[in-house]
Amino acid sequence: MISTLTLQTKSLHRMTSIFVSGANGFIAQHIVKQLLEKGYNVVGTVRSASKGEDLKKLTQSEKFSYEVVPDIGAVGAFDEALKKHPEVSVFLHTASPVTFTTNDVENDLLLPAVNGTKHALQAITAYGPQIKRVVVTSSVVAVFGWYNHFDPNKTYTEEDWNPITWEESLENPATGYFASKKYAELAAWDYVKEKTPHFKISFVNPVFVLGPQAFEVKDKSELNFSAEIVNKVIKLGSDDTIPEFSGTFIDVRDVARAHIIAFEKEDAINKRLLLISDGFTNEGLALIINKSFPESTVPKGDPIKDSEQLLKVHKYDNSKTKQILGFKFISLENSVIETQLIEKNYIVIGSVRSDKKGDELAANLNSSNFSYVVVPDIGVSGAFDEALKTHPEITIFIHTASPFHFNVTDVEKELLVPAIDGTKNALKSVVKYAPQVTHVVVTSSFAAIGAFGKYLDPSKVFTEADWNPQTWEDSLSNPGDGYLGSKKFAEKAAWDFVETEEPNFKLSTVNPPYVFGPQAFPIKTKGDLNTSSEVINGILKLSPSSEIPENQHLFVDVRDVAAGHISAFENPDAAGKRLFIVTAAWSAQGIANIIHKNFNKLKNIPVGEPWKDTYYRTTVSKFDNSKTIATLKVGLIPLDVSVIDSVQQILEAK
C-alpha cells in the first residue's frame, strides 16, 4: 500500500504548477503527460519555440505552457523563466546533455551537465522562493561502477557512487557521460549542503529506460538511446545473430511516476530513488518478442544464453526505493509487449449507440486512428453485421457492450435476454462476416464468478474456475439479481458458442469486480460518472453528521482492466481463459479514511469509525486470482492510488 502523500500537493492539484526542464525529452514527456493527467499545471522548458509548439500540440492541454531555454549551461539560464512563473511550486530538473560523438568531453558533456544543474538550483534560490520541492533526474551511472570499476561481487544500493574520476571521464564520450551524471548529482548535493536553501531535494536514478514514447512517434529516428535497444533487436532478420548485450532496465512510465511521487511524498526528501525493475538481455528480448508476436521475423532467442548473460549484470538492492514508492514496477515482458502495441499504431473502430456519442468520443480521442460505427441496439439480430462487413481489416474484436441499469420492470426482457443476445449476436457476426478475426475478448464480471444473497458462502475462496450458482429463476426476482444473472448467462453463452461452433477465433473473458479509478477523459459534470465511481462520489457528498454506509466489496482500477483486455488478445497464454482481475477488498469506511488522509480540504465528510474498515474488508468474498496474475504478469494499482486519482477528477468536475 502506498504511504501517505503530502496534503499540500495532493489536495491542490489544480492550483499547483510544476516546472519541468528539458520537457521534450523521452522521460520528461512521460512526466509531463502524467502530471497533466493528474490535474497539475505544467511549465516546460525547451531549446526552441518550434520544439515547444510541437510538444504543446502533442499534449493537447491548456494546462501546458513552455519557456525557451536555449542553453542550460549558460549562466542564468533559468532566471527569466522562473521570474515569469511565480506560481511554480515544484521544479523537476530533467534536462542534461547526452552525446556520444563529441571530441571535447569536458566542454560538451561534463561542464554543461554540472553547470546546468547548478544554474537551475541557483535560479530557484534567487527567483523561486515559493518552490518547495526539487527533483533532479540523475542516473544509475552515478551509482554503479563501470568498466575497470565494475565489481561483479558487489551489491549496489542507493548509497553507492560510481568511483570514476574526472580524469578518467575525459578518455571518451561514454566515460564522459557516466561522469557527467555523477558530478552533476554531486554538484546538487554539495549545493544543498553548503547553501541550505529553502527547498527540499530528491534524486531519481534510473537504469536503461525502456518502454513506449509518451506520444506518437512518426519517425523511428526519434527514438531515444534506450528505446533503440529494443528496436535493434526487432530489426534483426531470422537468420541474423543476436548480438550479446545485457543490463538492467526500468520502464519509462515507472520513471515518470517516480518523479511525481518524489515530490509528493515526504519520505522521498533527501533520498536517491534507484529505479531498477530487473535485468535484461538481447536474447531475452528476442524470446519475449517471438512469444508475444508469432508473426515476428526476429531470431528465436536462446533461453540458456539469456540466463548466462543475466549473471553478468550488476547486482543491486533497491528495496529502500521500492518501499518509498509503494508500487510494483512494470515487468520486462509487459514493457516490451506494450511498447510494440503502441509501435504497431493500432487502428480502432468503436461501436456506439448514436452519432452524437461517436462524435463526442472522437473529439476526446483526437486521433486519426479512431473511427466509429453506430449500433443502436446490440440485442437486435445481426446488430454487428454491417459494421464487420464495412471493416474487413479488423483482426481483434473486444466486446464490452452490455445492458447495465436497475430501473427495469421486466428483468428478463430488459436485462437477461439483451445481454445474452448481444453477446451471441456479436459472435455470430464475427463468424459470418469476419473470418480474419483471430481473437475475441468479452467483458464479463465477477458477478459471473461469485456467489451472492442466499448463495453467499463466507468460507469459499473464489477462483477463475467458479461460476455464480444463481439460476435463471433467481435472476427474475429483482433488477439487482437480474444484473448478476445477465453477466453469468451472457458469459456462459459465449463459452457455449465457442464449444459448439468451433469458430475461427480464440476467446478470452475479463471478469472484474467493482471498477474504480478516473474516467479516461476529463469529466464535465459529476453526472458523467459511472456506477462504481459514484460509490466514491457518494462519500464525497455526505454531510459531517451523516453515517458512512456499510458498503464493501472487491475492486480493481479501471486502468488495470483496460490493460487486461489488451493483454487478453496479445498474450497467447490468455487464449481460452477467464481473466479474474481483482486487486483487493474495499469498504466505504476505508475510502473515507483514504480521503481524510490525503485531502485536507475535504474534512467535512464524516470520519465514521476508521477501525471498522479492517473488519468490513474481512466480510467480503475471498479470492485467489493467482492464475490470472501469472498470465497477465502485471502489478495492480492499489486502492489508495485509485481513490486519490478518482477524487481529484471528481473535484475538478462541476
pLDDT tens for each residue of 6-49: 333 444 444 589 999 999 999 999 999 999 988 899 999 999 99
Please, which residues have CB within 8 angstroms of residue 614's CB and are 6 or more apart in sequence?
none
The sign of the dihedral angle between the CA atoms of 263, 267, 270, 274 is negative
Nearest residue to 588 via CA among 652, 532, 628, 633: 532
Q: What are phi and psi of 373, to 5 degrees?
A: -125, 150
- Cβ–Cβ < 8 Å for 6, 264: yes
From 3.40.50.720, 3.40.50.150, 2.60.40.2140, 3.40.50.1220, which CATH number describes the 7-212+249-276+315-329 domain? Answer: 3.40.50.720
| Residue 648 pLDDT | 82
| Residue 7 pLDDT | 34
Please, which residues have CB within 8 angstroms of residue 391's CB and are 6 or more apart in sequence?
349, 373
Residues of the chain with pLDDT under 70: 1-15, 97-101, 216-227, 294-295, 341-345, 366, 403-407, 522-532, 633-634, 653-654
Name the 3-class secondary structure at 65. strand
User: What is the rounded CA–CA span in Å between residue 337 and residue 467?
Assistant: 31
- Its pTM stands at 0.62
Nearest residue to 384 via CA among 441, 438, 434, 443: 434
3-state secondary structure 218-250: CCHHHCCHHHHHHHHHHCCCCCCCCCCCEEEEE
**379 grid coordinates:** 440485442
Count of CB atoms within 10 A of residue 210's CB?
A: 23
Angle made by CA atoms 384, 381, 448, in degrees to the nearest 5: 80
| Residue 447 pLDDT | 94
Per-domain residue ranges for the chain? 7-212+249-276+315-329, 516-555+583-624+635-654
Range 380-386, long-range pairs (CB < 8 A, 24+ positions): 380/425, 381/421, 381/425, 382/425, 382/429, 383/422, 383/425, 383/426, 383/429, 384/351, 384/425, 384/426, 384/429, 384/430, 385/429, 385/432, 385/433
Render 327-373 in DSSP notation, one character per residue: SPPPPHHHHHHHHHHHHHT--EEEEESSHHHHHHHHHHH--TTEEEE
**392 grid coordinates:** 474487413
- Cβ–Cβ < 8 Å for 413, 369: no
| Residue 529 pLDDT | 60
User: What is the rounded CA–CA span in Å between residue 179 and residue 271?
Assistant: 20
- Cβ–Cβ < 8 Å for 266, 288: no
Please, which residues have CB within 8 angstroms of residue 523's CB and are 6 or more apart in sequence?
529, 649, 650, 652, 653
